């Protein structure tokens, strides 16, 4: 699954913007306040809508009025995402469109559509079409040999007008495109790595596959990779040895009092350093490697300013690792202020946001 295009209307500074030809590794640059964080938050917003409801997703962002572009002509926020997905053996371009409005102070879904073409000709078919909690969904969408009239259209009433139809329907695999899109939104991740919470010993009981948003489970994920994917751990260690002067070895340490920590061996000294006492950049580089060599990539990973605390020449390799992660199945978006990371990107990977009269123009 690959997101190719995002079209936003009245979503904060994105009053009317279409981002086309999104690559699998996308580097977003632009001055402060041009909308980089806002762009990533489109996915955060959709996830909150999906996990809770539209009202709650709006509330955590200051309410409908805060999210709606300041001088929007219409009281309506539109998010349209086009993604390519293989359905019945063919890569199809699927469109998900969500329009949100407010009536009598209550937010609701004005329209929610999921559509794609069934064949090479004809107009796209609405496999899911809802408004204000009512709508229809096709439940035999993979029967491509059936004529249009044989498709089974179910009428469905949702529990509330501010619920997304993909929330309920996406649970069922027979709604193929809805469930794939729901999974992308649910498993989307924005990494907001905090070195302070990543450091230090952690309760050793537990098991984590993926690095968390803040990186607070770094030790647990590292141990999991070391125990279950030793070849990946070896690769990460070798990368650290090449990039951080002095690093000879990295181990996870289970202490007698049930704690787990990381130890970094500097070749010049006999005793290793525990993670609390190694440099910020060392922890950060290690965390990125743990994140990017994840055996099961997130379908969409966003990282804000990955360059912080890293030595500039390391960013070339990091860009290549983001790309490799994307090739393994996860799309990656990073924002950056680093000329070095920008240099490491290819022209078609770079998206430059600007601001004109208060808004991010097309």
Ligand X SMILES: Nc1ncnc2c1ncn2[C@@H]1O[C@H](COP(=O)(O)OP(=O)(O)O)[C@@H](O)[C@H]1O
Contacts with ligand X, residue ranges (CB under 6 A) = 12-13, 30, 32-38, 66, 68-70
Q: Which does 30 bind (CB under 5 to 8 A by kind): ligand X, Mg ion, none?
A: ligand X
Instruction: Say if residues 192 and 213 touch (Cβ distance below 8 Å).
Output: yes
**Residue 309 within binding range of Mg ion, rule CB under 5 A:** no
| Nearest residue to Mg ion on Cβ basis | 37
Task: Return the number of the residue (217 or 335) whose C-beta is nearest Mg ion.
Answer: 335
**Residue 308 within binding range of Mg ion, rule CB under 5 A:** no
Tokens 């009025």 locate to: 65
Task: Return the number of the residue (35 or 330) whose C-beta is nearest ligand X.
Answer: 35
CB of 10 to Mg ion, least distance (A): 20
Task: Return the number of the residue (37 or 204) whose C-beta is nearest Mg ion.
Answer: 37
CB of 333 to ligand X, least distance (A): 12
DSSP of 263-276: EEEETT-SSPEEGG
- Tokens (6 digits) for 328: 């393994």
Composition of the chain by helix, strand, coil, percent to 5: 30, 30, 35
Task: Return the number of the residue (35 or 215) whose C-beta is nearest ligand X.
Answer: 35
Q: Name the burial class of residue 72, with classes exposed (0-12), middle (13-18) and buried (19+) by CB atoms within 10 angstroms of its CB.
A: middle
CB of 302 to ligand X, least distance (A): 11
Q: Which does 66 bind (CB under 5 to 8 A by kind): ligand X, Mg ion, none?
A: ligand X
Helix boundaries (H) for 188-243:
195-198, 218-228, 230-243
> How many positions of this chain bind Mg ion (CB under 5 A)?
2
| Nearest residue to ligand X on Cβ basis | 33
Site for Mg ion in 9-48 (CB under 5 A): 36-37
Q: Which helix (H) or strand (E) holds 259?
A: strand 259-266
Q: How far apart are CA 64 and CA 69, in angstroms?
A: 10
Q: Which does 205 bind (CB under 5 to 8 A by kind): Mg ion, ligand X, none?
A: none
CB of 126 to Mg ion, least distance (A): 36
CB of 28 to ligand X, least distance (A): 8
Instruction: Say if residues 34 and 44 touch (Cβ distance below 8 Å).
Output: no
Pairing of strands 90-103, 76-87: antiparallel
The site for Mg ion (CB under 5 A) is made up of 36-37
């Amino acid at each position: 699954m690959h997101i190719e295009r995002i079209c936003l209307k009245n979503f904060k500074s994105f009053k009317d913007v279409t981002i086309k030809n999104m690559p699998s590794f996308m580097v977003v640059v632009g001055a402060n306040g041009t909308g980089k964080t806002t762009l990533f938050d489109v996915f955060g917003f959709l996830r909150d809508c999906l996990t809770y409801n539209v009202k709650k997703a709006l509330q955590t962002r200051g309410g409908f009025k805060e999210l709606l572009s300041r001088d929007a002509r219409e009281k309506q926020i539109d998010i349209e995402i086009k993604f390519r997905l293989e359905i019945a053996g063919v890569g199809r371009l699927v469109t998900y469109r969500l329009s949100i409005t407010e009536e009598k102070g209550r937010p609701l879904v004005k329209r929610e559509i999921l559509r794609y073409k069934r064949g090479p000709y004809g107009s796209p078919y609405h496999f899911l079409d809802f408004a204000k909690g009512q709508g229809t969904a096709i439940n035999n969408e993979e029967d491509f040999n059936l004529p249009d009239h044989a498709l089974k259209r179910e009428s469905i009433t949702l529990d509330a007008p501010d619920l997304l139809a993909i929330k309920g329907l996406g649970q069922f695999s027979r709604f193929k495109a809805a469930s794939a899109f729901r999974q992308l939104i649910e498993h989307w991740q924005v990494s907001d790595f905090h070195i302070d919470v990543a450091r230090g010993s952690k309760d050793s009981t537990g098991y984590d596959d993926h690095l968390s948003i803040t990186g607070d489970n770094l030790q647990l994920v590292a141990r999991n990779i070391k125990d279950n994917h030793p070849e990946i751990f070896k690769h990460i260690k070798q990368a650290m040895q090449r990039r951080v002067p002095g690093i000879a070895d990295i181990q996870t340490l289970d202490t007698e009092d049930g704690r787990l920590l990381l130890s970094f061996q500097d070749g010049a000294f006999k005793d290793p350093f525990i993670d609390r006492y190694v440099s910020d950049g060392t922890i950060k580089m290690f965390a990125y490697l743990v994140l990017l060599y994840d055996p099961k990539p997130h379908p969409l990973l966003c990282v804000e300013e990955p360059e912080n605390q890293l030595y500039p020449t390391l960013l070339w390799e990091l860009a290549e690792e983001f790309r490799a992660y994307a090739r393994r199945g996860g799309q990656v978006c990073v924002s950056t202020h680093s000329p070095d990371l920008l240099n490491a990107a290819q022209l078609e990977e770079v998206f430059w946001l600007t601001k004109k009269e208060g808004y991010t123009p097309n």
